[in-house]
Structure 1
Amino acid sequence: MSLPPVALFQQALRVATPAVVYDYPGITATVRRMQDDIAPIPGAQLNFAVKACHTPDVLAHLAGLGLGGDTASVGELELATSAGFQEITATGPAFSAADFTLFRAVGVTVDLDSVAQIEAYGRAHPGTDAGLRVRIPLPEKLEMHSTFGRNSRFGVNATDHRVHEAFARHGLRLTRLHLHTGQTSPEKLLYKVAYTLHMAAKFPHLHTIDVGGGFFHLYLHRGRARAALRRTARMVEEWQTEHGRPIALRFEPGGGVLAPHGYLFTEVRSVEEHHEYYGTRVVTVDSSAWNLAPWHKPTVLAADPAAGSGPPRPGLIAGNTLYENDFFGTDIHGKVDRGMTFPPCRPGDRLVITASGAYTLTNSRRFNRIPAPAEYAFDGTGSLRELPGAPFA
């Protein structure tokens, strides 16, 4: 990622809080690096996971960078179409017959998630192309708390005879495989590519494999990520030579593209210097982790360094709702993390909560009827531009 310029913070001091500011030059730089890294792979493309952001202007910016869009509902399909994504895919746990018709009307091939979905789609649209979401049984050494292999509730087992019988019964042509195993790594990526290329050899109409996202862990070390992607390119080239037909890979980052380039600016409302139970200070702000970001791990900074003094020290950032566990920076089980450090602050100061560019607004609740933050774009010149929110379908 690219660090944001000071001008973004200076301009954000002039807008009301809470506010999420997207760093468009930073987004562009990250996308271009990822595109460069996958370029050696024949036919490879980035498809943004639209579930990570529903803000039309942000989606249009991503579409303008050449990304496709993966959607999980007809509401997201409407957003992706309006944004101008040239390639749109669809993957959801359960679509209705009417949903299938809407996707087909705009030329989108749906990735089916279960035998029941194959049957429903096949009855409505026999003899057509269809994709399939598959569950990947990761080896135990590749499993971790943030991966979903055998334990995923999404997708089908590729060896399930009912899947193949349903495809045959309705005359469906399998053209896409789609998988997502949570956070990935160079080793997981290579395993998934090898696994699905082996599957692809069995299906003569199959032309695309979407290996999912999980780019946070993939890019923990960019050199290792690039080495795995070069190895992926060789695997695809060897497969194409052996089988005499092309096959294309899709990568589907969401948070990996946007999260680092969104900043939540929030005002301090109260400070309790020492909470007798938590054993540390508790700072309550004018936004809410529970309403916006219940499971991400931010860094907290002073929005205006001149407003605070002294080194960062431990504390908790609490959201402004009457929910007991409304704290920023909890672990994946919602437990309070006592290890957060941030600058000294007092009521009226502004803090910046990083890693807020993805899932923040698409996860949003209205608990206690606290309004969602306003959204702004920073384009590197001029003032911040306020963005209209997504129409709720």
Structure 2
Amino acid sequence: MVTSREPLAPSRPFEVDQDLSSPNRNLTPLTTRLDGEGRLSLGDCTLSDLARRYGTPLYVLDETTLRATCRAYREALARHYPGEALAIYASKANSSLAITALVAAEGLGLDAVSAGELLTAFQGGMAGERIVLHGNNKSREELALAVAHGVTVVADNWRDLELLAELAPSFPGPARLMLRFTPGIECHTHEYIRTGHLDSKFGFDPDQLEAVLRHLTTCPWARLTGLHAHIGSQIFELQPHRDLAAVLADALALARSLGHPVEDLNVGGGLGIRYVASDDPPSIDAWVRTVAEAVVEACRERGLVLPRLLCEPGRSLVATAGVTLYEVGSRKPIPGLRTYLSVDGGMSDNPRPITYQSQYTALLADRPMAEPNETVTVAGKHCESGDVLLKDLALPPATAGDVLVVFATGAYNASMGSNYNRIPRPATVLVAEGSAELVQRREQPEDLLRYDVLPSRLRYLG
């Protein structure tokens, strides 16, 4: 039984190079093992057993890996930054009550971008004062909800400030604000996930910064406590983060010179992870050390008292903690071209390949060490030619009913999923020490009709 806590037969690490100090550099979760029959297990739960018990597609989250990445950030900040610091989980990567509870228990904060993410954070046990609200088009309702719970609002544009001023009479006291601006720093990442360059929908233009800061000195309803800038996502380079520290320090000096009690400097997130063997991201420790040293140096050069250092990891916290299980179905060989191997999920549970041309690593759950003597393209079941999860994947011969394990799917898979073709969303289980617990139920086809309304005049009576 997958819920048994009894020791398994002798097993060995699947990847011998796994390192708790840099979990974002691993291709598989930290507890990935082979069970006594040579099958893949995670958290001492055999993955093919999980597939049979809970169905597929199935998201599986490894609690040990998630806790390890949280601790890696927390401990690296304590080790490398001489002032106060806080890692804030970017919950857009994967938002659920269970993940929120784990992240809160590990002492991290959380960033949200909607009422849904806020409510998930509150009910998952995250304190309002450890939450920041992002977004380039926040509603009145979202702003009111955030302020009522003591959440720090990240002012992204003039519209945010106008709405907050209108809501101010209902505030119990001054609203805590953080000001976001674009730093004008380019990174070598996908166009859709570069947010630090000037041509971005996020943040005030840097040329507006002084005007915004001066305007806020006339707003008694606001208390500006922080500055924020973010340069992108899935970044392997370190130099842009050094450049960002200098830009933020200049903004900090300006804000403090105008009388704002700015105590927080938020450098955003963006650290990449290892999706395929050729990826070579910095470790969490190296990233934190680079950011911390750069902020310390920039503040020292400008004679600034060190701020509290905030960072917002998302992908690098949760991606490698997750895998997705699929059942193999049909096979279509095209002589001289390729062989398509179809699975029972696809772009509705992982839209990243069709959106970003993202690459992944995958194995057969019950034959992970078999000779990979076949090259296949793994296709999803959706009515879309571009619904391809993995191209030119080396696998042992796979047949219908085999379970395919795709690694590093803990970020931007569940959270970006859809019901395309009216396919229900997968379940999620959390595994640890031989126990598997359901943390998100599988949608059923009838659930997809809950919000449909059929006018009586359209009812077919024939």
Report the TM range for the smaller structure's normalisation.
0.7 to 0.9
Counterpart of 1:24, as a letter, is E
**Using the alignment, how far apart are the partners of 1:324 and 1:270 within structure 2?**
15
- In the alignment, structure 1 residue 38 sits paired with structure 2 residue 94: no
Whole-Å separation in 1 of the counterparts to 2:213 and 2:292: 33
Q: How many residues are matched? A: 377
Whole-angstrom CA distance in 2 between matches of 1:98 and 1:165: 27
Q: Which residue in 2 is equivalent to 1:124?
A: 167
Deviations 1:124-175 (A, max 9, x none): 328644221111111x6x5554533112211111321653454245344422
Q: The residue matched to 1:368 in structure 2 has which SS?
A: helix
Match of 1:26 in 2: 65
State yes or no: 1:238 paired with 2:300: yes
Q: 2:156 touches 2:181 (CA, 8 Å); kept in 1?
A: yes
Could you tell me whether the CA contact under 8 Å between 1:377 and 1:386 is conserved in 2? yes
Structure 2 distance, partners of 1:229, 1:165, is 28
Partner SS, residue 125 of structure 1? helix
User: CA–CA distance in 2 between the matches of 1:62 and 1:312?
Assistant: 41
Show the counterpart of 2:363.
Answer: 301
1:359 is the counterpart of 2:412: yes
* TM value normalised by structure 2: 0.75
The C-alpha deviation readout for 1:188-207, integer Å capped at 9, x for no partner, is 11111111011101123111
Given candidates 241, 266, 282, the residue that maps to 1:210 is 266
Contact 1:69 1:80 in 2 (8 A): yes
Which residue is 2:20 aligned to? none
Task: Extract unaligned runs of 5+ from structure 2.
Answer: 1-22, 24-29, 35-40, 275-279, 448-462
Code of the residue aligned with 1:11 in structure 2: it is T
Distance 1:317 1:327 in 2: 6
What is the correspondence of 1:366-381 to structure 2 with a 5 Å cutoff?
366-381=419-434
Aligned-partner Cα distance in 2 for 1:390–1:351? 19
Indicate the residue corresponding to 1:82 in structure 2: 123
2:134 and 2:154 in contact (8 A); partners too: yes
Which residue in the other structure is 2:350 paired with? 292
Distance (Å, rounded) in 2 between the aligned partners of 1:367 and 1:347: 23
CA distance, structure 1, for counterparts of residue 113 and residue 272 of structure 2: 21
1:30: how far off?
2.1
**One-letter identity of the residue aligned with 1:170:** C
- Residue 43 of structure 1 deviates from its aligned partner by 1.3
> What's the secondary structure of 2:255's corresponding residue?
coil
Contact 2:74 2:108 in 1 (8 A): no
Q: Is 1:191 aligned to residue 243 of structure 2? A: yes
Secondary structure, aligned partner of 1:119: helix
Q: Which ranges in structure 1 are unaligned for 5 or more consecutive residues?
A: 330-337
Q: Compared with structure 1, are the counterparts of its residues 288 and 143 closer, same or farther at alpha carbon in structure 2 (3 Å cutoff)?
A: closer
Q: Is the 8 A contact 1:115 1:166 kept in 2?
A: no
Change (3 A) 1:166 1:124: farther
Percent sequence identity is 25
Contact 1:118 1:163 in 2 (8 A): no
1:4 paired to 2:7? no
Q: Distance in 2 between matches of 1:121 and 1:290?
A: 36
Q: Is 1:346 the counterpart of 2:423 in the alignment?
A: no
RMSD: 2.8
What SS does the corresponding residue of 1:328 show, helix, strand or coil?
A: strand
The superposition leaves residues 255-288 of structure 1 with CA deviations (integer Å, 9 ceiling, x where unpaired) of 1111111010100011112267xx2111110111
Deviation at 1:367, TM superposition (A): 1.3
Deviation at 1:388, TM superposition (A): 3.0
Distance 2:288 2:312 in 1: 16
- Give the Cα separation in 2 of the matches to 1:249 and 1:82: 26
Pair 1:225 & 2:275 matched: no
Q: C-alpha distance in 2, partners of 1:300/1:104? A: 44
Q: 311-320 vs 102-111, which deviates more?
A: 311-320
Q: CA deviation at 1:101?
A: 1.5
Q: Does 1:67 align with 2:108?
A: yes
Compute the displacement of 1:318 (Å).
0.8
Query: Residue type of the partner of 1:221?
Result: P
Match for residue 281 of structure 1 among 333, 339, 343: 339
Q: Which of residues 65, 86, 111 is equivalent to 2:154?
A: 111
The answer to whether the aligner puts 1:177 opposite 2:227 as a matched pair is yes
1:309 Cα deviation (Å)?
Answer: 4.7
**Is residue 4–residue 23 contact of structure 1 (8 Å, CA) maintained in 2?**
no
Q: Which has the larger radius of gyration?
A: 2
- 1:324 positional shift: 1.6
- Of stretches 227-236 and 256-265 in structure 1, the one that deviates more from structure 2 is 227-236
